[in-house]
Structure 1
Amino acid sequence: MLFTAGGSQAIVFAIAPLASAARNAGHEILLAADESLMEVAEAIGLPAVCIIPERMRFGQDVLTAAVRLDALLELAEDWAPDLIVGGLSHVPRVFAARLGVPYVRQAWHFASMDRRDRTVLEGLAPEMRRLGVAELPEPAMFINLCPPSLRPPGSPAARSMRWAPRVRQARVEPWMYTRPDGRPRVLITAGTRNLVLDTLGTPLRALVDELTGAGAEVLVAALPEAAERLARETGDVRAGWIPLDVVAPTCDLAVHHGGATTVATMINAGVPQLLIPDMGMSRNIAESLCGFGAALMVEERRTDADRNPGELIGARCREMLSDPGYAERSRLLAEESASLPTPAEVLRELEALPAA
């Protein structure tokens, strides 16, 4: 089974549970990814091969398609997969059609991607002609990691799968898995796309002060390369790389950018979320969570012009910490997520595809 990933480290974390389940079941797997993702793939124990030295950003399928397809075809000359698993990119789908093997798409879908998909596939038409691919069959399976309750009406039919957090680890210390006495714990993170959270132009120190002033313990989870900067900005607050899967169950609130894997980890732990979207997809995610009652959202263009953004975010945090409704709705989502089929269960369906 060949798994593919491009873009941020979060994509590797997203594909890892199913890839690991396949490997644990005795299947031969490889992860084809960008050079920038090699180190994180190695860190979480996935055998990875580099197919391109650049990092593919969201929506760049067409710009890098020829290089990626040629690299994948070269890989297939020595290691021919029986099944290919990809995500938002359609390049692996073209590759699977060229090889004549089943293709599985795994994604975290909150909103329809039909318009983007059509545009990308039109852009890939020259590469399809070059490779002799007349048409692209529909994926043999679409795996959606989004809990059904958060999917909008008209969402495509999909095989649900439970989110199983898989992130780069760090030495675990007692404060990571225990709750603080007598005060709520708030986690701030920007995921793996950015070094630290961009809180609408508000210095991180100001946001931390708002939260600690409200009586909360604050943790700042960020990429390792941001640790020195965080130490200067946040003083005695615990900051740096923190394994979210360990810390999340001890948190009362998470403040972050709305990335899918961060959202999924918090849903898994039943944590209410305050979202500050940094891109369109993050906004879709935020709207779904807010509609369910498990989150609030703050957007730059909608902030009160007469109010400091840090104060506004702090006020939203206090509102969520004082209203048990957000925690209750978050617990309902966690229960729904826990009821979904595990990666090992979904794997059994994938195993039947190559012989179909």
Structure 2
Amino acid sequence: MRFLFTAGGSQGTVFAMAPLAVAARNAGHDVLTTVDAPLLECAQAIGLPAVQTPHPKEASARLQALLEVSQDWTPDVVVGGLSYIPGLLAASLDVLYVRQYWDILPLRTEPGLQVELDRLGLSGAPEADLFLDVCPPGLRPSPSPTARPMRWIPRNRQGRLEPWMYTRPKDRPRVLITSGTRSLMLNTPGSSMRHLVDQLISEGAEVVFAAPEGAAEQFAGQLGDVHIGWLPLDVVAPTCDLAIHHGGGATAVTFMNAGVAQVVIPENDYAKAIGAAAADFGVAQLVLPAQLPEGINLSEEIAGIAQDILSTPRYQERADELAAHIRTLPLPSQIVLELEELS
């Protein structure tokens, strides 16, 4: 079978689709990934055969670009999830359509596709032959009863590992801070990030900062005695006791998979919903800077919350419970077998 995966937006979508794509390749199937130009290098870095597609603003033009790719490489299965477009592509080609949630929040609709919907006789998003959900049951704000659970398998860029990356400190908790690949959480006013790091270290924690290389070069000299740089989160996460992050879906679920408690400082409403879901389950605390009382120092507030989580066993207990449940979900290899039966 030929599997065509589509991704766009952020590197997190590429990381999320990779486990199923790798499982399909390992089962002997052909795989091709279509990505926007900024994501091409990311897809290649994690071992996905990838082709760049144009990313015009108009949804209909993006669909047309995928149809043109399919003329040269016709799939038997289309896997996507960020919009209606993968489903419309599958419907146009009359092939299997797999719809996949990327993380904790539902998929978005796509404006500007009414002509295509009318052409295919559809009143809404095409029905998927298989609807996959990698969000741990119990966390999704609006669960779909038709979704097939699939285990989240972290997939990240790799590099040369150093022993500290895969070993847990023996005498102190490890706190990892990250703002993902696009967030500007590092660019906090004044020296508040340095102040947060200093406070965490003064409380006895080891601080690790996961950041793109450009940000690492910019901030390395400002953050004191910390490991900072691009880190493979799938390797480092299991060595951590706490993660402080921006609320990215792939980041949050990677730490859930590793059984790590979290502090979420959301950069937008999407991240706020992710943080709220994690907090409701009891594995995280949500910090909303705009809602803090006047005069409250943000870095001191985060440091205090971090210390509260590290000293309160119920956060780690809930994180362990969630990680254990994630491990019971069907593996991507099992999903590939189901797709083979559908073909």
Q: Which runs of 5+ in 2 are unaligned?
A: none
Provide the rounded CA distance (Å) in 1 between the counterparts of 2:187 and 2:322. 27
Q: Counterpart in 1 of 2:46? A: 44
Kindly indicate whether residue 6 of structure 2 is the aligned counterpart of residue 8 of structure 1: no
1:267 touches 1:334 (CA, 8 Å); kept in 2? yes
Letter in 2 for 1:2: L
Q: Which runs of 5+ in 1 are unaligned?
A: 55-62
- The CA deviation string for residues 185-227 of structure 1, in whole angstroms up to 9 with x for no partner, is 0000012222654668863212211211211100000112212
Q: Counterpart in 1 of 2:84? A: 90
TM-score relative to the length of structure 2: 0.94
Kindly indicate whether residue 324 of structure 2 is the aligned counterpart of residue 335 of structure 1: yes
Q: Counterpart in 1 of 2:199? A: 210
Provide the rounded CA distance (Å) in 2 between the counterparts of 1:315 and 1:332. 24
Q: Counterpart in 2 of 1:163? A: 152
Letter in 2 for 1:5: A
Q: Counterpart in 2 of 1:180? A: 169
Q: Counterpart in 2 of 1:59? A: none
SS at match of 2:53: strand
Q: Counterpart in 1 of 2:121? A: 134
Instruction: Name which of 60, 81, 84 aligns with 2:75.
Output: 81
How big is the shift at 1:292? Answer: 1.1
Provide the rounded CA distance (Å) in 1 between the counterparts of 2:330 and 2:229. 33
Q: 1:217/1:45 Cα in 2 relative to 1: closer, same or farther (>3 Å)?
A: same
1:112 touches 1:155 (CA, 8 Å); kept in 2? no
Q: Aligned residues, how many?
A: 339
What is the percent sequence identity of the aligned residues?
52
SS at match of 1:137: coil
Provide the rounded CA distance (Å) in 2 between the counterparts of 1:19 and 1:140. 17
Q: Counterpart in 1 of 2:282? A: 293
Q: Counterpart in 1 of 2:217? A: 228
Q: Counterpart in 1 of 2:26? A: 24
Letter in 2 for 1:141: L
SS at match of 2:126: coil
Q: Counterpart in 2 of 1:313? A: 302
Instruction: Name which of 233, 252, 277 aligns with 2:241.
Output: 252
How big is the shift at 1:230? Answer: 2.1
Instruction: Name which of 36, 41, 65 aligns with 1:71.
Output: 65
1:109 touches 1:151 (CA, 8 Å); kept in 2? no
Q: Counterpart in 1 of 2:335? A: 346
Provide the rounded CA distance (Å) in 2 between the counterparts of 1:201 and 1:303. 18
SS at match of 1:285: helix
Q: Counterpart in 1 of 2:101? A: 107
Provide the rounded CA distance (Å) in 2 between the counterparts of 1:331 and 1:246. 17
Where has structure 1 moved over 6 Å in runs of 4 or more?
Answer: none
SS at match of 2:330: coil
1:33 touches 1:49 (CA, 8 Å); kept in 2? yes
